[in-house]
Amino acid sequence: MRRLRLLTAGESHGPGLVGVLEGLPAGLRVSTRRVDLDLRRRQHGYGSGRRMQIERDRVRWIAGIRYGRTLGSPVGFAVDNRDWENWTDRMSVEPIPADRRPKAITRARPGHVDLAGALKYGVDDVRDVLERASARSTTPRVVAGSLARQLLGATGVRIWSFVDQLGPVRAFAEADDPLACVAPDWPDRDLRDPSPLRCPDPEAEARMLEEVDRAKEAGDSIGGSFVVVAERVPVGLGSSAEWDTRLDGILAGAVMAIPGVKGVEIGLGFGVVDRQGSAVHDVVDAADAGWRRSSNRAGGIEGGISNGEPIVVRAAQKPVSTLRSPLPSVDLATGASGRAHIERSDVTVLPRAAIVGEAMVALMLADELLYSFGGDSMADLRAAVARRRRRTERRPG
Ligand SMILES: Cc1cc2nc3c(=O)[nH]c(=O)nc-3n(C[C@H](O)[C@H](O)[C@H](O)COP(=O)(O)O)c2cc1C
């Protein structure tokens, strides 16, 4: 990131998770309720395991906020792990003699960090590496992303997401522009009353729910894809001046860094492969007084720069690696074959991964907004963004 810095720490079953977000301007009104809502959204969803029922995450501010507004200093925060009290022996910070320790985990799960991480750090208890690799580490990202969302919201940008595919079931299968299919009053657009899988196509969602139940019954897991949308992004975030300043590359890297995400598309994405140019590029609508396009196959980014259309990022999420009917594995300690270990786990994480996707997109866009428009205070930032909107959102003539 170019203007913001985010550092996070915390293990899945340790005492808690912490983060420091540096670079927010002074004067951002912070809604703690909004942050807690995003944390709850990260925990909600059909196919979630028991832990999500045990824990209700809440943010605890430690630094950088006074009277509900940012000070311009780093914002420090913590989210306690309510389950910690059940893990004090297995995750003890204090040394425990080897003969009194809980049993080590030695049978790695295929598809998870277990074997690669154990080999990298030279450990023989896989818990040493899986605790940090767990998606619990996305919790501080969601807190920081919620702050970024609030900053973006103060300049008119709105971010939302939905699940568009689960296993073989695709919502709006024939659609060229998936956004056109999402009703303007679909509740999740305004983050109200989420449906169980956060899919805006009720008929497809019903079939998706059946797929989740089938995977659960088989002791298996199931993946799919989610879409993150950012609306009213000012023209001009990112640049084509250098490879690492392109907005598409920045967003793709951040979304790809979500655990379990294996592919990222902007706009049509891989859909460009089998089309001719005339069916890929978006024509500026002659009838419109603004710079509106008649389609948004580019997903809101051309030449690495936001073009004013909604930014549309789609991510492929692999099925979780922890299976209740575990895959074959090899014991790290003895070399004997056996089954992978079982950790408390979800059948699908799609509706929750989408919320992490929103957080990553919000963080990247807030960072680029601050890079382009700067400002020590929110008043400076808002004024600069308004100036840009005045210049770019009206067509001459
Ligand atoms: C919100 C969320 C929750 C997840 N929950 C689980 C889980 O309960 N069990 C699991 O095995 N993987 C879970 N994952 C996925 C793993 O973190 C991921 O499979 C693992 O990091 C290996 O994937 P990688 O190779 O992409 O890192 C979750 C991912 C996300 C985004």
Query: What are the tens digits of pLDDT across the range 124-144?
Result: 899 999 999 999 999 999 999
Write down the pLDDT at residue 371: 98
Which atom of ligand 1 sits closest to the CA of residue 318? 19
How does pLDDT run across 179-232, given as a tens digit for each residue? 877 877 777 776 665 688 999 998 999 999 999 999 999 999 999 999 999 999
Would you place residue 145 in the very low, low, confident or very high pLDDT band (cuts 50, 70, 90)? Answer: very high
Per-residue model confidence (pLDDT) at position 219: 94
Ramachandran angles phi, psi of 236, nearest 5°: 110, 10
* Ligand 1, CB within 6 Å, residue ranges: 49, 112-113, 133, 135, 138, 258-260, 320-322, 345-346, 349, 352-353, 356
Tens digit of pLDDT for each residue in 277-307? 999 999 998 887 888 898 999 999 999 999 9
Atom of ligand 1 nearest to the CA of 261: 26
Residue 9 vs residue 346, higher pLDDT: 9
Q: Distance, CA 83 to ligand 1 centroid (Å)? A: 19
Q: How far is the CA of 129 from the centre of ligand 1 (A)?
A: 13
Q: What percent of the chain has pLDDT over 70?
A: 97
Ligand 1 atom 13 nearest Cα: 320
Nearest ligand 1 atom to the CA of 133 is 21
Residue of the CA atom closest to atom 18 of ligand 1: 260
Two structure tokens written together for 214? 């089938």
Of residues 394 and 263, more confidence is placed in 263
Atom of ligand 1 nearest to the CA of 51: 8
pLDDT of residue 362: 98
Distance 321 CA to ligand 1 centre (A): 7
Q: DSSP letters along 45-103, please?
A: -TT--THHHH----EEEEESEETTEE-SSPEEEEEE-GGGGG-TTTT-SS---GGGSPP
**What is the band of 238 on the pLDDT scale with cuts at 50, 70, 90?**
very high
Ligand 1 centre to CA of 24 (Å) is: 29
Best mutation site among 126, 130, 134, 262 for ligand 1 pocket (most ligand atoms within 8 Å of CB): 134
Q: Above 80 in pLDDT, residue 61?
A: yes
Residue 298 and residue 309 in contact, taking contact as beta carbons nearer than 8 Å: yes
The answer to whether residue 52 scores a pLDDT higher than 70 is no
CA of 3 to the centre of ligand 1 (A): 29
Say what percent of the chain tops pLDDT 90: 81
CA of 127 to the centre of ligand 1 (A): 15
The protein residue with its alpha carbon nearest to ligand 1, atom 7, reads: 345
pLDDT in tens, 324-366: 899 999 999 899 999 998 877 789 999 999 999 999 999 999 9
Are 14 and 317 contacting, i.e. CB atoms less than 8 angstroms apart? Answer: no
Among 25-39, 87-101, 183-197, 240-254, name the one with the lowest average pLDDT: 183-197
- The answer to whether the beta carbons of residues 128 and 108 sit under 8 Å apart is no
42 CA closest ligand 1 atom index: 1
For every residue of 162-221, DSSP letters joined together read EEEEETTEETTTT-SSHHHHS-TT-GGGGT-S--TT--S-HHHHHHHHHHHHHHHHTT--
Look at 294 and 314; give whichever has higher pLDDT: 314
Residue 64 has pLDDT above 60, yes or no: yes
Q: Which of 50, 139, 346, 352 to mutate to test the pocket of ligand 1 (most atoms within 8 A of CB)?
A: 346
The number of residues in the chain equals 397
Instruction: Give the C-alpha distances (Å, rounded to integers) separating 39 from 24, 273, 327.
Output: 20, 37, 32
Mutate which of 12, 255, 349, 360 for ligand 1? The one with the most ligand atoms within 8 Å of its CB, which is 349
Ligand 1 atom closest to residue 258's alpha carbon, by position in its atom list: 31
**Does position 256 have pLDDT exceeding 70, yes or no?**
yes
Nearest ligand 1 atom to alpha carbon 345: 8
Compute, in angstroms, the gap from residue 21 CA to the centroid of ligand 1.
Answer: 24
Which residue, by CA, sits nearest to atom 8 of ligand 1? 345
User: Cα(302)–Cα(308) distance, rounded to whole angstroms?
Assistant: 10
